[in-house]
Amino acid sequence: MNLNNKTLVITGVSSGIGAELARLARFAGATVIGVDRNEPQLTLDGFFKADLGDPASIDALLGQLPSAVHGLCNVAGVPGTAPAELVGRVNYLGLRHLSQGLLGRMPAGSSIVNVASVLGAEWPLRLEQHKALAATEDFAAGQQWLEANAVDPRTCYQYFKEALIVWTFQQSQRWFRDHGVRLNCVAPGPVFTPILGDFVSMLGKSGWPAMPRAWCARRWPMKWRR
Protein backbone atom coordinates (compact mmCIF):
# COMPACT_ATOMS: atom_id res chain seq x y z
CA MET A 1 0.00 0.00 0.00
CA ASN A 2 1.39 3.38 -1.05
CA LEU A 3 -0.21 6.47 0.47
CA ASN A 4 2.52 8.97 -0.37
CA ASN A 5 1.18 12.51 -0.93
CA LYS A 6 -2.22 11.54 0.48
CA THR A 7 -3.87 13.31 3.40
CA LEU A 8 -6.15 11.21 5.60
CA VAL A 9 -8.52 12.32 8.34
CA ILE A 10 -9.17 9.60 10.92
CA THR A 11 -11.73 9.98 13.70
CA GLY A 12 -11.47 7.98 16.91
CA VAL A 13 -7.70 8.13 16.48
CA SER A 14 -6.73 7.90 20.15
CA SER A 15 -7.41 4.20 20.68
CA GLY A 16 -8.50 0.94 19.13
CA ILE A 17 -9.12 0.66 15.40
CA GLY A 18 -8.52 4.36 14.77
CA ALA A 19 -5.10 4.34 16.42
CA GLU A 20 -3.93 1.22 14.59
CA LEU A 21 -5.23 2.57 11.29
CA ALA A 22 -3.34 5.83 11.82
CA ARG A 23 -0.13 3.94 12.58
CA LEU A 24 -0.41 1.82 9.44
CA ALA A 25 -1.39 4.79 7.24
CA ARG A 26 1.62 6.83 8.35
CA PHE A 27 3.86 3.83 7.77
CA ALA A 28 2.49 3.71 4.21
CA GLY A 29 3.41 7.36 3.66
CA ALA A 30 0.15 9.20 4.39
CA THR A 31 -0.17 12.51 6.15
CA VAL A 32 -2.55 11.62 8.97
CA ILE A 33 -4.74 14.13 10.78
CA GLY A 34 -6.48 12.66 13.80
CA VAL A 35 -9.73 13.66 15.47
CA ASP A 36 -10.83 12.54 18.93
CA ARG A 37 -12.09 13.75 22.31
CA ASN A 38 -8.91 12.43 23.94
CA GLU A 39 -5.25 13.13 23.29
CA PRO A 40 -3.62 10.54 21.02
CA GLN A 41 -0.90 8.21 22.26
CA LEU A 42 0.92 8.07 18.92
CA THR A 43 2.67 10.50 16.59
CA LEU A 44 0.41 12.21 14.05
CA ASP A 45 0.86 14.93 11.47
CA GLY A 46 -1.99 16.87 13.00
CA PHE A 47 -4.61 16.45 15.70
CA PHE A 48 -7.84 18.22 16.61
CA LYS A 49 -10.19 17.69 19.51
CA ALA A 50 -13.85 17.65 18.54
CA ASP A 51 -17.22 16.49 19.85
CA LEU A 52 -18.59 14.47 16.95
CA GLY A 53 -22.06 14.55 18.50
CA ASP A 54 -22.23 18.35 18.21
CA PRO A 55 -22.71 19.90 14.74
CA ALA A 56 -21.20 23.21 15.92
CA SER A 57 -18.05 21.40 17.04
CA ILE A 58 -17.90 19.56 13.70
CA ASP A 59 -18.28 22.85 11.81
CA ALA A 60 -15.41 24.31 13.83
CA LEU A 61 -13.34 21.22 13.01
CA LEU A 62 -14.09 21.61 9.30
CA GLY A 63 -12.71 25.13 9.47
CA GLN A 64 -9.38 23.74 10.72
CA LEU A 65 -8.94 20.83 8.34
CA PRO A 66 -6.90 21.13 5.11
CA SER A 67 -8.40 22.38 1.86
CA ALA A 68 -7.66 19.02 0.21
CA VAL A 69 -8.36 15.67 1.88
CA HIS A 70 -7.89 12.36 0.06
CA GLY A 71 -9.42 10.05 2.62
CA LEU A 72 -11.81 10.16 5.56
CA CYS A 73 -12.01 7.22 7.97
CA ASN A 74 -15.05 7.48 10.23
CA VAL A 75 -13.98 5.24 13.09
CA ALA A 76 -15.16 7.13 16.19
CA GLY A 77 -18.22 5.84 17.99
CA VAL A 78 -19.82 5.29 21.36
CA PRO A 79 -21.22 1.96 22.66
CA GLY A 80 -24.84 1.10 23.28
CA THR A 81 -24.39 1.59 27.02
CA ALA A 82 -24.51 5.34 26.32
CA PRO A 83 -27.87 7.16 26.05
CA ALA A 84 -29.62 6.41 22.77
CA GLU A 85 -29.65 10.08 21.77
CA LEU A 86 -25.86 10.29 22.14
CA VAL A 87 -25.35 7.07 20.17
CA GLY A 88 -27.44 8.51 17.33
CA ARG A 89 -25.63 11.84 17.35
CA VAL A 90 -22.11 10.40 17.32
CA ASN A 91 -22.48 7.13 15.43
CA TYR A 92 -24.78 8.45 12.71
CA LEU A 93 -25.73 12.11 12.55
CA GLY A 94 -22.28 13.50 13.36
CA LEU A 95 -20.53 11.04 11.08
CA ARG A 96 -22.85 12.05 8.26
CA HIS A 97 -22.38 15.76 8.96
CA LEU A 98 -18.59 15.47 8.86
CA SER A 99 -18.66 13.43 5.65
CA GLN A 100 -20.96 15.91 3.93
CA GLY A 101 -18.80 18.79 5.08
CA LEU A 102 -15.59 17.28 3.72
CA LEU A 103 -17.00 15.98 0.45
CA GLY A 104 -16.49 19.24 -1.42
CA ARG A 105 -12.76 19.37 -0.70
CA MET A 106 -12.05 15.75 -1.69
CA PRO A 107 -10.59 15.41 -5.21
CA ALA A 108 -11.77 12.70 -7.58
CA GLY A 109 -10.35 9.35 -6.56
CA SER A 110 -10.67 10.08 -2.85
CA SER A 111 -12.35 7.66 -0.47
CA ILE A 112 -14.55 7.69 2.63
CA VAL A 113 -14.72 4.57 4.79
CA ASN A 114 -17.38 4.22 7.49
CA VAL A 115 -16.86 1.72 10.29
CA ALA A 116 -20.17 -0.03 10.99
CA SER A 117 -20.41 -3.37 12.81
CA VAL A 118 -21.57 -6.95 12.39
CA LEU A 119 -24.25 -5.90 14.87
CA GLY A 120 -25.80 -3.88 12.04
CA ALA A 121 -26.44 -6.98 9.93
CA GLU A 122 -30.21 -6.91 10.43
CA TRP A 123 -30.73 -3.67 8.54
CA PRO A 124 -33.25 -5.34 6.14
CA LEU A 125 -35.71 -5.73 9.02
CA ARG A 126 -35.94 -1.92 9.38
CA LEU A 127 -35.07 -0.86 5.85
CA GLU A 128 -37.91 1.61 5.38
CA GLN A 129 -37.12 3.36 8.68
CA HIS A 130 -33.45 3.64 7.77
CA LYS A 131 -34.28 4.97 4.31
CA ALA A 132 -36.56 7.60 5.87
CA LEU A 133 -33.81 8.71 8.24
CA ALA A 134 -31.29 8.74 5.39
CA ALA A 135 -33.61 11.05 3.45
CA THR A 136 -33.29 13.80 6.07
CA GLU A 137 -31.08 16.56 4.71
CA ASP A 138 -28.92 17.54 7.66
CA PHE A 139 -28.09 17.03 11.33
CA ALA A 140 -31.02 19.06 12.63
CA ALA A 141 -33.55 17.35 10.35
CA GLY A 142 -32.18 13.95 11.31
CA GLN A 143 -32.43 14.78 14.98
CA GLN A 144 -36.00 15.96 14.52
CA TRP A 145 -36.88 12.70 12.76
CA LEU A 146 -35.39 10.68 15.60
CA GLU A 147 -37.34 12.66 18.17
CA ALA A 148 -40.51 11.67 16.34
CA ASN A 149 -39.40 8.05 15.86
CA ALA A 150 -37.94 6.89 19.16
CA VAL A 151 -35.22 4.23 19.07
CA ASP A 152 -35.22 1.46 21.68
CA PRO A 153 -32.27 2.24 24.02
CA ARG A 154 -31.60 -1.50 24.44
CA THR A 155 -30.75 -1.90 20.74
CA CYS A 156 -29.75 1.65 19.80
CA TYR A 157 -26.20 0.66 18.88
CA GLN A 158 -27.42 -1.97 16.45
CA TYR A 159 -30.05 0.41 15.07
CA PHE A 160 -27.62 3.16 14.17
CA LYS A 161 -25.06 0.77 12.69
CA GLU A 162 -27.86 -0.57 10.50
CA ALA A 163 -28.79 3.00 9.58
CA LEU A 164 -25.16 3.75 8.70
CA ILE A 165 -24.97 0.76 6.37
CA VAL A 166 -28.14 1.85 4.56
CA TRP A 167 -27.07 5.52 4.31
CA THR A 168 -23.66 4.50 2.96
CA PHE A 169 -25.24 2.35 0.27
CA GLN A 170 -27.72 5.04 -0.71
CA GLN A 171 -25.09 7.77 -1.03
CA SER A 172 -22.27 5.74 -2.54
CA GLN A 173 -23.45 5.72 -6.15
CA ARG A 174 -24.47 9.38 -6.13
CA TRP A 175 -21.25 10.63 -4.56
CA PHE A 176 -19.12 8.56 -6.95
CA ARG A 177 -21.12 9.79 -9.94
CA ASP A 178 -21.12 13.45 -8.95
CA HIS A 179 -17.76 13.80 -7.19
CA GLY A 180 -15.66 10.76 -8.05
CA VAL A 181 -15.43 9.94 -4.34
CA ARG A 182 -15.82 6.34 -3.19
CA LEU A 183 -18.00 5.74 -0.13
CA ASN A 184 -17.75 2.34 1.53
CA CYS A 185 -18.69 0.66 4.78
CA VAL A 186 -16.86 -2.04 6.74
CA ALA A 187 -18.42 -4.12 9.50
CA PRO A 188 -15.84 -5.52 11.94
CA GLY A 189 -16.60 -8.05 14.62
CA PRO A 190 -15.35 -8.00 18.23
CA VAL A 191 -12.12 -6.02 18.64
CA PHE A 192 -10.08 -5.58 21.81
CA THR A 193 -10.58 -1.85 22.35
CA PRO A 194 -11.19 0.19 25.53
CA ILE A 195 -14.97 -0.08 25.04
CA LEU A 196 -15.13 -3.86 24.54
CA GLY A 197 -16.39 -4.23 28.10
CA ASP A 198 -19.33 -1.97 27.25
CA PHE A 199 -20.35 -4.37 24.50
CA VAL A 200 -20.19 -7.30 26.89
CA SER A 201 -22.47 -5.37 29.25
CA MET A 202 -24.76 -4.39 26.39
CA LEU A 203 -25.20 -7.89 24.96
CA GLY A 204 -24.53 -10.07 28.00
CA LYS A 205 -21.59 -12.38 28.48
CA SER A 206 -23.38 -15.29 26.86
CA GLY A 207 -24.80 -13.30 23.95
CA TRP A 208 -21.72 -11.42 22.77
CA PRO A 209 -19.65 -14.29 21.36
CA ALA A 210 -22.57 -16.01 19.64
CA MET A 211 -24.54 -13.14 18.10
CA PRO A 212 -21.92 -11.74 15.69
CA ARG A 213 -21.08 -15.21 14.38
CA ALA A 214 -24.74 -15.97 13.79
CA TRP A 215 -25.39 -12.67 12.03
CA CYS A 216 -22.24 -12.94 9.89
CA ALA A 217 -23.49 -16.28 8.59
CA ARG A 218 -26.54 -14.61 7.02
CA ARG A 219 -26.57 -13.30 3.47
CA TRP A 220 -28.82 -10.32 2.96
CA PRO A 221 -29.30 -9.25 -0.70
CA MET A 222 -29.39 -5.46 -1.05
CA LYS A 223 -32.82 -5.04 -2.63
CA TRP A 224 -34.51 -1.65 -2.77
CA ARG A 225 -38.10 -0.74 -3.33
CA ARG A 226 -38.22 2.44 -5.34
Catalytic residues: 157
- Quote the CA–CA distance of 133 and 21 in Å, as a whole number: 29
DSSP H or E stretch at residue 177: helix 156-179
List all residues 6 or more positions away from 90 whose beta carbon is below 8 Å from its beta carbon: 52, 53, 76, 77, 78
Helices (H) and strands (E) in the chain, counts: 9, 6
Sheet holding 31-36, edge to edge: 46-49, 31-36, 7-11, 71-74, 111-115, 182-186
